[in-house]
Structure 1
């Protein structure tokens, strides 16, 4: 039984229960489009990556990366890939690296894997009501019908981040939110439904090339296990962002949002002092606690390597830049002016500081480094993913839907959020007993840790009949997973 538990702990991010709410409706209802049939129809109706980038609809992956607008994307990604290979040349084992040759073959195409409403990020871009994200996956042997070479998805997501609406569009955030919340009642999953979504009055009416804001890449750059379905080994992911410069119509390398450049801060005492001063200001500290915080670009990195499972301790990393006294003083000042929801200790501060970064978020409850790989389509080579997205994604849908409802009803949206590993305690009624909150597989605080109470994680408990357990040798003794007590 103990061996079985260890294996379950390794596979936990991939063992997803297909999500349903208390009324039987999908958790992503009104907040995302995940149905492969609708997505294929939308891809064919104008939302293909090639058309969005102004290329021929039949363009291969190589054709797209050869576009003048994509020159910097190709060169910067190759540079970071090559740097990773050089840095890891003496690493033990022979990792399987991302197949760049497959990405550049004529038979590789990008398919639309999902569309996600991120109006919950309107605190970043209020004038455009937040973002809509078109998520694409590269498919090798895209049109093949051969049993020897069936279509297969490469371990990469290409996220085209769109402005939810143009600044001067004749539509309000309230109307746009209403369209999304009503979109699941628009008809059957077919081409007619797709036409309604992108047509006048549809939820995707404003999703055109003119609304492109940036590209976000997440590439499984290497994995140590030889078997593609062996998730015990480490896998590394390269994460990059390229923002569209409308003047030159070029995608330019840009800092990753909230991805703190720790190495640079540690070598620049003045910059590190500025970072501490900025972040520990009571107003900014309160935003960090609640979630809607955007760090200034001068503190951020242009790329990140995300290791899954996580191979770093967030608390150890935080102590390189902050002392206990720093955080005690910041907690006291921030608490005097606002009610803190999540950060109640240095450990809570460290987890939140890691949680807001691209790499930290994608190391938490992801499907092998991805939060939205999309559902497997019929005819694809067998894979291990059985749901469209990760537990973190599904556990956040009630919060996102509440924000859409607030927009629709003209109420002030509450942009606060919990930790990536656990939804807000206020979501207990909606998610109680699920793998997202207190149920089997939920993230919890180990009993030994609770013996020394840490208020940041006091609600991280398990439902009756379950206990918090972890695997031998876990680097973080504070967190575990909810499993049956008999395990």
Structure 2
């Protein structure tokens, strides 16, 4: 592994040490777009937003369903079967590709697999860890006014007699995605947005009063499937399994589904006809413009039904795992000449691109528009929303700061869209790169690690190997900081105090 991943791990450790100092700032950023208050989440988890009550609204029992019973529900059986199949494929692939390294559950293996018994155990359940407003995704389905997400964290709930230890949170989140507006509802998107921007989110007639089990659209899961400790042959590596299960109302099951914009690279490279079709679709000026804005919806025929996101990774797209790069290497879907020609064609057609102004910008967008690529960018160990641990007896970093720099850096854009919806204006749904959020004319992000302050992502100016790339050259640092990158070829670095 190159220096950049190690550099990223060191920087992440430094950022974690600074998390509590940013708590007040983060609370201001998430105002109107997320609920992370521990007391509110505790109350909601004990009420109608407890996961088993969302999935079984007729259930009135006070005791939450443990996962052993949750995954035995007919609606959840396909989820368990699909996750089990992914585990089997992951183990078989590693045994074939890494025959000299062992893989299994426990510390004695080179690749330590997550213990599936914990996922389906009577000792665990999913606990509500946060609620996030995603009405900025109204462009996906205007009739439902975007999404509201209930995010649950896998937690061990039963302790042995006399054990006073804090219930450990396990490395998995389950995201219950709800339509912000249920089918048949007469409420307007403007009213929903207004309630979220108000002061009584969880009160009667507040924002949460509009959602229940009728709004369920799908389940998204993010599970740390394996961890490889540092060894003589590699630095540490952790792999995260991402899956999506859409709710089939007629069958009353969550069915495994294609993941939004998660490009199936292996299938494309194995099918020349499909590869040509995808290249033509994405490079069409209309689709390229939406891709640049971050609002393109890639047709399902090109998408995968699961993804592995490894962490840590470097800042440069060329350092991502091979399955996430479609521009480089022999037989790649896109050549640099393809991208240059498409950008020229779009310019001649009068298309004004905001982010993609070079092949490197195209490749970065190609990576961060995918589920896996986005989770690799400015995440907290593979997650963007680890959530609040309100069950903990003592605060932790994730209790104080429940989400990643990518999440907080995007809040101003999301709030701007909410305000437009509230006021009946046409929202600007565009977004920047995952590494460098849009400022939307606000000064809230200036000088913070989310934008151009200490720890912000930046472009190394004047480095011969980096050139003067038009996609990134405005990624500068605040006064007193300089852009510093690991290695001699990386074009993307982080803002740190200038060395004397």
Task: Give the TM-score normalised by structure 2.
Answer: 0.87
Distance in 1, Cα, partners of 2:45 & 2:64: 12
Distance in 1, Cα, partners of 2:8 & 2:437: 25
1:206, distance to aligned residue in structure 2 (A): 2.5
8 Å CA contact 2:466–2:490 kept in 1: the answer is no
- 1:441 aligned residue: 455
Counterpart of 1:452 (choices 442, 456, 467) is 467
8 Å CA contact 1:261–1:300 kept in 2: the answer is yes
- 1:175 aligned residue: 191
8 Å CA contact 1:177–1:405 kept in 2: the answer is yes
Superposed CA RMSD in Å reads 2.6
Distance in 1, Cα, partners of 2:146 & 2:8: 41
Distance in 1, Cα, partners of 2:312 & 2:378: 9
Counterpart of 1:52 (choices 45, 51, 54) is 54
- 2:30 aligned residue: 28
Q: Relative to structure 2, which stretch is displaced further, 51-60 or 215-224? A: 51-60
Is there any run of 5+ residues in structure 2 with no aligned partner, and where? Answer: 1-5, 102-108, 314-318
1:105, distance to aligned residue in structure 2 (A): 2.4
- 1:189 aligned residue: none
Counterpart of 1:86 (choices 82, 92, 95) is 92
Distance in 2, Cα, partners of 1:37 & 1:208: 20
1:140 aligns with 2:156: yes
Distance in 1, Cα, partners of 2:470 & 2:426: 28
1:323 aligns with 2:323: no
8 Å CA contact 2:166–2:391 kept in 1: the answer is no
Distance in 2, Cα, partners of 1:223 & 1:289: 34
Structure 2 CA distance for partners of 1:486 and 1:7, relative to 1, 3 Å:
farther
Is there any run of 5+ residues in structure 1 with no aligned partner, and where? Answer: 187-192
Distance in 2, Cα, partners of 1:434 & 1:450: 28
Pairwise mapping of residues 88-487 of structure 1 onto structure 2 (< 5 A)? 88-89=94-95, 90=98, 92=101, 94-142=110-158, 146-147=162-163, 149-182=165-198, 185-186=199-200, 194=202, 196=203, 199=204, 201-225=205-229, 233-310=236-313, 312=320, 317-319=326-328, 320-335=332-347, 336-377=349-390, 379=392, 385=398, 386-424=400-438, 426-427=440-441, 429-447=443-461, 448=463, 452-472=467-487, 477-486=490-499
8 Å CA contact 1:144–1:151 kept in 2: the answer is no
- 2:3 aligned residue: none
8 Å CA contact 2:460–2:493 kept in 1: the answer is yes
Deviations along 1:386-421, whole A, 9 cap, x unmatched?
A: 511000000000000000000001110100000000
- Higher relative contact order at CA 8 Å, sep ≥6: structure 1 or structure 2? 1
Distance in 1, Cα, partners of 2:174 & 2:371: 15
Structure 2 CA distance for partners of 1:236 and 1:152, relative to 1, 3 Å:
same
1:384, distance to aligned residue in structure 2 (A): 5.7
SS at match of 1:417: coil
Structure 2 CA distance for partners of 1:122 and 1:5, relative to 1, 3 Å:
closer
Give the number of aligned pairs: 465
1:21, distance to aligned residue in structure 2 (A): 7.8
8 Å CA contact 1:449–1:478 kept in 2: the answer is no
Structure 2 CA distance for partners of 1:135 and 1:419, relative to 1, 3 Å:
same
Distance in 2, Cα, partners of 1:113 & 1:173: 25
Q: Relative to structure 2, which stretch is displaced further, 203-212 or 441-450? A: 441-450
Structure 2 CA distance for partners of 1:270 and 1:175, relative to 1, 3 Å:
same
SS at match of 1:26: helix
SS at match of 2:341: helix
SS at match of 2:210: coil
